[in-house]
Structure 1
Amino acid sequence: MAIKKFEDILVWQKAQDFSVRIYQQFNASKDFAFRDQITRASVSISNNIAEGFERKTNADFSRFLYFSLGSNSEVRSMLYLAEELELIAGVNSKELIEASNEISRMLYGLINSMKTKS
């Protein structure tokens, strides 16, 4: 059965949950520039999935999935930096990095599944 709306895409759901976790983790951070950058990048992950899906072509959807991967990598890179700057505890950082890695694997899987259908 084909997916009819982006809300049904599992990786979109995981990206939404991930963004909520990022917001919660950095909500009290006094480093406003860092907080703004990491939260905006986290939101971009699910937004690019949604926008690409609505474009209605596999080529456009795939392109936006790559944008999503880029945003996810940006968040993951910032998580490593946040740990070094002591903006986040190591255990929290590791959990969020693993969640980010899972999203990357899912995005690559979705991209690859679209390639085999073309």
Structure 2
Amino acid sequence: MAKVERFEDLRCWQSARSVVRLVYRLSQKGELRKYYDTQRQFRRAALSIMNNIAEGFARYHPKEFSQFLNVAQSSVAEVKSILYVLEGLSYFPEPELRQIHLSVDDTRKSILALIKYIQNRQNGVSEPSVGYTKQEVPNHHYILSLPKKHL
């Protein structure tokens, strides 16, 4: 497995980036184009996921990194909530929304797995749970990768 040296190497950040692309594409279509405030909030929430992962990675202490990851996973919930609003208003076909729901769920799972791993490291648990592999990042971070079947 490749060593994680940049936030761009994190699986959760890559997944969040995919969510941002999907959200931007969807927000340029249909009825949502007319509702600028909702469109902007949807985009900001998606960007917040990706940006908080990156910002947390740049922090020196794992506890701070975990806090930023918690904010990122909270932004995932915000994106999900907006998706339910869009679904309830029938702004988009269900298959389109389902694709984003799945992507958002995968992103949340990978963020929560990383949070759990960091917390285990802080609590002196030296080995991650079954199914996780660890990668050490220079200076301060221990990053996990989940096998693809878990994401």
SS of the equivalent of 2:34 reads coil
How is 1:47-86 mapped onto 2 (pairs within 5 angstroms)?
A: 47-86=51-90
Q: Which of 1 and 2 has greater Rg?
A: 2
- Which consecutive residues of structure 2, in runs of 5 or more, have no partner in the other structure? 123-151
Deviation by residue 1:40-66 (Cα, 9 ceiling, x = unmatched): 100000100000110121000000000
User: Is the CA contact (8 Å cut-off) linking 2:18 and 2:103 kept in structure 1?
Assistant: no
- Which consecutive residues of structure 1, in runs of 5 or more, have no partner in the other structure? none
Q: Please, what is the CA RMSD of the aligned residues?
A: 1.2
Please state which structure has a larger fraction of its residues in strand: 2
1:8 paired with 2:12, answer no
Moved more, 40-49 or 84-93: 84-93
Distance 2:93 2:87 in 1: 6
Distance 2:18 2:121 in 1: 28
Stretches (4+) displaced over 4 A: none
1:44 to 43, 48, 54: 48
- With normalisation by structure 2, the TM-score equals 0.75
Please state which structure has a larger fraction of its residues in helix: 1
Distance 1:103 1:59 in 2: 20
Q: Which residue of 1 aligns with 2:102?
A: 98
User: Is the CA contact (8 Å cut-off) linking 2:15 and 2:107 kept in structure 1?
Assistant: yes
Q: Which residue of 1 aligns with 2:140?
A: none
Aligned partner letter, 2:96 = N
Identity of aligned residues (%): 30
- With normalisation by structure 1, the TM-score equals 0.95
